[in-house]
Structure 1
Amino acid sequence: MSMPPELLHAAKHAKGFMPLAEGLALYEAARQYGALGPICEIGTYCGKSAVYLGAAARETGSVVVTVDHHRGSEEIQPGWAHHDPTLVDPRFGKMDSLPTFRATIASAGLEEEVIAIVGRSERVAALWNTTLGMLFIDGGHSEEPVTRDYEGWAPHVREGGALVFHDIYPDPADGGQAPYRVYLRALESGAFQEKSVEGSLRVLERVAPGI
């Protein structure tokens, strides 16, 4: 089944960094695994990937919980290549992607399918008790945050469910290596087995307990 054209249009035009082919691969993974339980996204930004996930959740009767403090990861702060000055809240002098995210999801008509949690991933993970059908890790891309996201959230993925990583670059010339190292750690744990690859997107399926 193809992604509904109106939602595909919304995803294409949302602010964010997800290439179309990877977004469609994310949508297909969410369609496959979303029926097994809720979909959790770590790293919301402005909601582009949440539209792909929300479209799949609508089809499968699932729901997307997307977690972000909305103050921006390190690579979108002032002085960095991906900084967007339109997302700075002048009242506090800090990044704030939450209003743009809310507009993205409302415009796409996905407010029933996509639930935002505003807070740091590790704080939310410490309170989380629900088994997940799919986990998508796309938050901070340096060593500490991606490790915390994996350790805090991957244990909640059910057997037969999926752990999905974005921005996996085996060649250091293509991008940062922290997500790649954590991705390798997931494979080496024996708990996850790679099922598909699209660009920098990796879909792993849980095949055993533990991480």
Structure 2
Amino acid sequence: MSSDLVYAAKHAKGFMPHEEGTALFEAACRYGKLGPICEIGTYCGKSAIYLGAAARHAGSVVITVDHHRGSEEIQPGWAHHDPTLVDPRFGKMDSLPTFRNTIAAAGLEDEVIAIVGSSERVAGLWRAPLGMLFIDGGHSEEPVTRDYEGWAPHVVEGGALVFHDVYPDPADGGQAPYRVYLRALESGAFTEVSALGSVRVLERVGPGI
């Protein structure tokens, strides 16, 4: 990544550690050559900078899907709540303006395309094959499962399915992404090719999702 994009990613609002973002960038550089990169869970655009930088390198594009009303863990009363992202007109979370500013400031508006809507509804309309899918939306059982079931079938053979916040030890974090990651491996459709921190990169090797 260029130094200006590294700076932008490090200073953007979000939860992606730089080392894990770099692993995401490297995976997207490789698999983005096979087709579009799809991110489920945009938030404020931090990880989209890593993906957008990779898309530029690979000659690809990033589609990032989020309703921008916040997942359960960033709502009022939860540990990751950010009151600056609440729209006072509606009393709801709204990360879309911050995301747009983040991507514009990074100069990645040509590489990163936002779709505003629920992952499940957009997945029901989606038809294009994907070179890489990055699942990083809601982290409880139901949303992670929906994201996997709705989007993983669109990953091309030889493409990648990438999970964030995979914690085998419950003391380190929530278990839903870990359980769905195991499900993907057990399906026989994916095999793990790399792991760094809580990022797991799986490559699609056949049918079976």
Q: The TM-score by the shorter chain falls in which range?
A: over 0.9
Query: Could you say which residue in structure 2 is the equivalent of 1:100?
Result: 98
Report the residue type matching 2:102 in the other structure: T
User: Secondary structure, in 3 states, of the residue corresponding to 1:8?
Assistant: helix
Map of 1:110 onto structure 2: 108
- 2:83 is equivalent to residue 85 of structure 1: yes
Q: SS state of the match for residue 126, structure 1?
A: helix
Corresponding residue number in structure 2 for 1:22? 20
Partners of 1:46 and 1:174 in 2: how far apart?
24
Cα offset, 1:209, TM superposition: 1.4
Instruction: Name the CA distance, whole Å, in 2 between partners of 1:195 and 1:176.
Output: 23
5 Å-filtered alignment, 1:106-145, equals 106-145=104-143
- Aligned-residue offset at 1:149: 0.1
DSSP 3-state at the match of 2:200:
strand
Q: Which position in structure 2 is the counterpart of 1:180?
A: 178
Map of 2:32 onto structure 1: 34
Q: TM-score, normalised by structure 2?
A: 1.00
CA distance in 1, matches of 2:184, 2:137: 17
Structure 1, unaligned runs of 5 or more: none
TM-aligned CA deviation for residue 210 of structure 1: 2.5
User: Which residue in 2 is equivalent to 1:59?
Assistant: 57
Please give the root-mean-square deviation of Cα atoms over the aligned residues, in Å: 0.4
Separation (CA, whole Å) in 2 of partners of 1:54 and 1:112: 9
Question: Aligned residues: percent identity?
Answer: 85
Structure 2 runs not aligned, ≥5 long? none
Q: Which runs of 4+ in 1 moved over 3 A?
A: none
Are 2:9 and 1:8 aligned?
A: no
Residue 192 of structure 1 corresponds to 190
- Count how many residue pairs are aligned between Structure 1 and Structure 2: 209
Determine the C-alpha separation between the residues in 1 that align with 2:26 and 2:3: 15
